[in-house]
Chain A
Amino acid sequence: MRVLLVEDFQLLRESLSQGLREAGYAVDAAADGEEGLWYAQSNPYDVLILDLMLPKLDGLSLLRKLREKNAQTHVLILTARDAPDDRVRGLDLGADDYLVKPFVFAELLARVRALVRRKYQVKAPVIRVADLEVDTSARLVRRAGRNIDLSPREYVFLEFLAARAETVVTRSDIWDHLYDFNSETDSNVVEVFIAHLRKKIEEPGRPRLIHTRRGHGYVLGERG
C-alpha cells in the first residue's frame, strides 16, 4: 500500500514517514502543497495524508484540485485546526477522514488501514483465500490455523494480493502501490519478493496460492 504524506513540519514528516515505512507502507513525503499535488497526480496513491496549512498551496486547495481531476485516492486530513467548520469544509471537499494533531500514531495507522480497506472495498477486517487468512486489523496471517510470521513489508505485499484475490495483479500495479520513489528501480525486486513470500506461506504438500501469469502478473487464489 502506497501512502503520500504532505506535511510541512519536518520532524513530523520524517517521523511519520519512518513509522509508516516500518509498518510496511511505501511512503512518499512532500513538504509543500505544490510538491504534494505533483506527487499525488503522478501516482495512484492508496492513501494521502494531508496537512492543511501548507506553504505554496494549502491543503484544501490541493484536495480540490485533486478531486477535480477525479483522483480516487483516499484522503486523511491531518491538521491542528479542530474547529467544526474546518472539518466540515475538509470532508465536503472530498476528504475521507480527519485527524487532529496531536494524535496517537497507533490511531493514525488504524485509520490508514481502514482507508485501505475502503479503497479495496473490503469491509471485513479478515480476508480469506482458501485456507489462508489475512487479518488486516491485527496484521496477522494464518494458514490452516497456523500463524505465519511476516515482516511488515511482506505482510503489506500479501495484503495487497489478498485484497485482489482471484484477479491478476500486474507488475506495474505492484510497482505503483508497493514501492515509493526511493525504492530501487531494479525490476527484479518484485520477482525476488514474490519468491520470498511463497517460501513463507506455501509449504510442500499444500496447494500453491500465489500463481504466476507469465507476461501478466500474479494471482492469489486456489485456482491458478
Chain B
Amino acid sequence: MRSIRRHLLLGAAVAITAIFAALAAILYVSVRTWLVAEFDRGLVAQAESLKAATEFHHGKVRIDFDGQQPAQFVGGPNAQYFELWEAGRVVARSPSLSSRDLPVTAPPPGRSEFRFDGLPDGAGGREIATTFELRRDPEDGEESATPGPLRASLTLVVARNTAQLSLALMQLKWLLVAACGAALLIGLALLAWIIRRGLAPVDAIAMRIAGVGRASLSDRLELSQVPRELLPIVERLNEMLSRLESAFNRERAFTADVAHELRTPLAGLETSLEVCASRMRRPEEYQKVVGQCLGVTRSMHVMVDSLLVLARADAGSLAVSSKSFGLEALVEESWQSFAQRAARRNLRFVPTGALAGQICTDREKLRQVLHNLFDNAVSYADDGGQIELSASATDEAISMTFSNTGSRLTQDEADRACERFWRGDAARTETGAHCGLGLSIVRELVALMRGQIRVRSSLGGQFVVEITLPVARREIRVPSPGNPEFTHHSEGAEAVDARL
C-alpha cells in the first residue's frame, strides 16, 4: 500500500543525498583546483629559477648552480627533478633522476604545459614542460667570438613528487564523505521525526473517522481541530455523512411507512375475521365481512404493486422504451376504467387542446401516469365537479394539464402530495383505498421519462397537475374526437414510424 510517510522520507532522502553529494563534489573540486594551482606555482618558480640559471658556457648550454647543486635535486623523500633538452638531447638533468629520463613532450615555443605523470621511480608526480629560447648574452662575459650557436631552443622539464598533494586530497575526500554521511543520517532521522509529527493529525483524524458512524450517523468531525490541508477532505466527509444520514433516515421513514401501511389493513383483516369467526352468524353477516375483506385485500394488492414500481424505479431497473402511439386513444383508454365511477359522482371529463396525433415516448408508463391522475381526480373532485385534461405540444415536448374542481388541499399540502405515503385528510377518512403512493409514482415515472411535474392547488378551487414530457411528435392536429380519419391517419403514422 502507498504510504505518504515512506514516500516523503524516501523522496527527501534522495534529494538530501543528491544535494550533499553535489556540494561535496563542488567543494572537493574547488579545493583540488586550488591545491594543484598552488603546487603548480611552486613548479613554475622552480622552472623560472632553473631557466635563469641556464646559460651558454663556451658555446654550450649549461645550468649554473654556482658550484652547488640545490639539495632538492639530489634525492631523498621530497626529491624534485629536472631535465633540460636541446634538440632531442639531454643537456642537463638532476642527480635525483640518476640518468633516467622524465617523460617529455615539448610544448610549442614560449609555452608551458602541466601534466600529471609517473616519475622514473614509479611514484606519482606532476611536471611542467616549458620550451624557451636561450640567447647568448653579451653581458654574460661570454665573448661573441666564441664559436657555437648564438641561440638555442631548449625544453625544460621540472617534476615534483605529488605524494603530499595526493594525501591531502585523499584526506579531504574522506573528510567530505564522512561529514556528508553523518549529516545525511542526522538529517534523515530529523526528517523522519518531523514527518511523523507532521502527519500526526492525519492519524488522529483517521482514528476519529474510525469512530464515526458506529453509534449513529449523526456524528460529525469537529472542523476546528483539523489542519487546513485536511479541511477539504474532512468537509467532504462530513457532507457525505450528512447525505448518508438523510438517505438512511428517508429509507427508515419509508420502511416505517411501508410497515404501517401494510400492518393497518392486515390488522383490519385479522380482527375482522377473528371477530366474525368468534361465533356463528347469519349468512348475510358472513357475506358482508367477506366483501369488506376482499376490498381491503384488493387495495393491499394495489399497494404492493405500487411499492414494487417504486422499488424498481429506485433501483434503476425500470427501462424506458420509446414507441410512437396516438395520445388521444391512450387518454380514452385510461379514462374508460374511471368513467363509471365518474358517472356515479356526476363528474364531467373535458379533454381539450392538442391531444390528436402521434407522440413517441413510453406508452405503458404514460398510461400508468394517466391512470393514477384520473384515479386521484375521480376520487377527490367534488360531487358534480369537472375534470379537465388540456394538452399543448411543441416539436420537442408535450404539456398536459390535469385539473379537477373541489380541491381539498392547500398549496402547502399540494407541495407534499408527491411524497410517498403522504395523504390528505380526505384520502384517509373517505376512501381507505388510497395508500398515498399514486402521485409519488407519477412523479417517479415522469422523472424516468425525463419530464417535469408541478402540482398546484387552492383549497376549494382547482387541483392542478402539470406534466411536461419530451416527446418526438409527428403530427399536430386539431382534436377531432370520433373522426374516422383520425384512426386511419394514426395507423399511417405508425407505419411510417415502423419504417423509420
The residues of A with any CB-CB pair to B shorter than 8 Å are 8-12, 14-16, 18-19, 22, 31-32, 53-56, 79-83, 100-106, 108
Contact = CB atoms under 8 A, between A and B. Distances in A.
Interface of B: 256, 259-272, 274-276, 278-279, 289, 292-293, 295-296, 425, 428-429, 432
Contacts of A10: 268, 432
A101 B256 contact: no
Contact of A32 (B263, B275, B425): B425
B270 A102 contact: yes
Given A11-B296, A18-B275, A80 B269 contact: no
Contact of A102 (B263, B276, B425, B429): B263
Contact of B428 (A22, A55, A82): A55
A82 B258 CA distance: 12
A11 B279 contact: no
24 contacts: A8-B428, A9-B267, A10-B432, A11-B295, A12-B271, A14-B272, A14-B292, A15-B274, A22-B275, A22-B278, A32-B425, A53-B260, A55-B429, A79-B260, A80-B259, A81-B259, A82-B259, A100-B263, A101-B266, A102-B267, A102-B271, A104-B274, A105-B274, A105-B275
B275 A80 contact: no
A11 B299 CA distance: 12
B286 to A, nearest CB: 13
A9 B263 CA distance: 11
Given A8-B428, A9-B432, A15 B264 contact: no
A32 B429 CA distance: 7
B429 A31 contact: yes
- Most B-side CB within 10 Å, residue of A11, A53, A102: A11
B267 A19 contact: no
A106 B432 CA distance: 25
A11 B292 contact: yes
Contacts of A18: 275
Nearest to A12: B268
Contact of B272 (A15, A55, A104): A15
Contacts of B274: 15, 19, 104-106
B260 A81 contact: yes
Nearest to B266: A102
A100 B263 CA distance: 9
A76 B264 CA distance: 16
Q: Shortest 9 CB-CB distances between A and B: which pairs?
A: A101-B267, A80-B263, A11-B268, A19-B275, A15-B272, A12-B268, A55-B425, A80-B260, A102-B267
A31 B264 CA distance: 14
A73 to B, nearest CB: 22
A103 B267 contact: yes
B263 A101 contact: yes
Nearest to A11: B268
Contacts of A100: 263
Given A31-B429, A32-B429, A82-B259, A9 B278 contact: no
Given A101-B266, A102-B263, A103-B267, 15 more contacts: A8-B428, A11-B269, A11-B272, A11-B292, A11-B295, A11-B432, A12-B264, A15-B289, A19-B278, A53-B260, A55-B429, A80-B261, A82-B259, A101-B267, A108-B271
B8 to A, nearest CB: 49
A101 B425 contact: no
A211 B22 CA distance: 121
A100 B267 CA distance: 9
B279 A101 contact: no
Contacts of A101: 263-264, 266-267
Contacts of A54: 428
Nearest to B261: A80
A15 B275 contact: yes
A54 B428 CA distance: 8
A55 B274 CA distance: 27
